[in-house]
Structure 1
Amino acid sequence: MMNDKNLATNCYYDRYFDTQAVKVLPGQYFATHENTMIVTVLGSCVSVCLRDRLSGIGGLNHFMLPRDSSAELNSPIAASGRYGLYAMELLVNHLLKLGACRSRLEAKVFGGGQVLKHMNFVNVGQRNVKFVMEHLRNELIPVLGKDVLDIYPRKVYFFPQSGKVMLKKIHSLHNTTIIDREKAYMHEIETQPVAGEIDLF
Structure 2
Amino acid sequence: MHTSDFDSPIAYYDKRFGVQAIKLLPGQYAVTKQEKLLVTVLGSCVAACIYDPMTGVGGMNHFMLPTINKTANELEQTECTATKYGVYAMEVLVNELVKAGADKRRLEAKVFGGGRVVPSFIQHDVGRFNAEFVVSFLNTERIPIVASDLCEEYARKIYFFPATGSVFMKRINELNNATIIERESQHRWKLSERKLVGSVDIF
Shorter chain as denominator, the TM-score bin is: 0.7 to 0.9
RMSD: 2.5
Distance in 2 (CA, whole Å) between partners of 1:58 and 1:161 is 6
| Whole-angstrom CA distance in 2 between matches of 1:99 and 1:10 | 24
- The offset of 1:66, in angstroms, is 6.1
C-alpha distance 13-115 of structure 1, shift in aligned 2 (>3 A): same
Aligned-partner residue type, residue 102 of structure 1: K
Paired letter, 1:111: G
Deviates more, 1:144-153 or 1:170-179: 170-179
8 Å contact from structure 1 (residues 8, 29) kept in 2: no
Distance 1:134 1:12 in 2: 33
Query: Is 1:37 aligned to residue 53 of structure 2?
Result: no
Aligned 8 A contact 2:113 2:151 in 1: yes
Amino acid of the structure 2 residue aligned with 1:101: D
Match of 2:17 in 1: 17
Give the fraction of aligned pairs with identical amino acids, expressed as a percent. Answer: 49
Deviation at 1:3?
Answer: 8.9
Residues 63 and 100 from structure 1, CA distance in 2 versus in 1: closer, same or farther, beyond 3 angstroms?
Answer: same
Tell me how far apart the structure 1 counterparts of residues 24 and 43 of structure 2 sit (CA, whole Å). 13
TM-score normalized with structure 2 length: 0.77
* C-alpha distance in 2 between matches for 1:31 and 1:117: 34
Matches within 5 A, 1:78-157: 83-157=85-159
Residues 3 and 10 of structure 1, relative CA distance in 2, 3 Å threshold: closer
SS in 1 for 2:5: helix
Separation in 2 of the partners of 1:133 and 1:157? 20
* Alignment partners' CA distance in 1, 2:148 and 2:24: 19
* 1:11 match: secondary structure: strand
What are the ranges of 5 or more consecutive residues in structure 2 without an aligned counterpart?
A: 70-81, 188-203
| Distance change in 2, residues 1:142/1:109 (3 Å) | same
Label 1:176 to 1:12 Cα distance change in 2 as closer, same or farther (>3 A): farther
Distance 1:37 1:122, change over 3 A: same
Q: What's the CA shift string for 1:167-199, capped at 9, x where partnerless?
A: 1000001686422212436xxxxxxxxxxxxxx
Unaligned runs of 5+ in 1: 70-79, 186-201
TM-score normalized with structure 1 length: 0.78
Given that 2:158 and 2:170 are in contact with CA atoms closer than 8 Å, whether structure 1 keeps it comes out as yes
Q: Do the aligned partners of 1:52 and 1:106 also contact (CA within 8 Å) in 2?
A: yes
Asked if structure 1 preserves the Cα contact closer than 8 Å seen for 2:20 and 2:37, the reply is yes
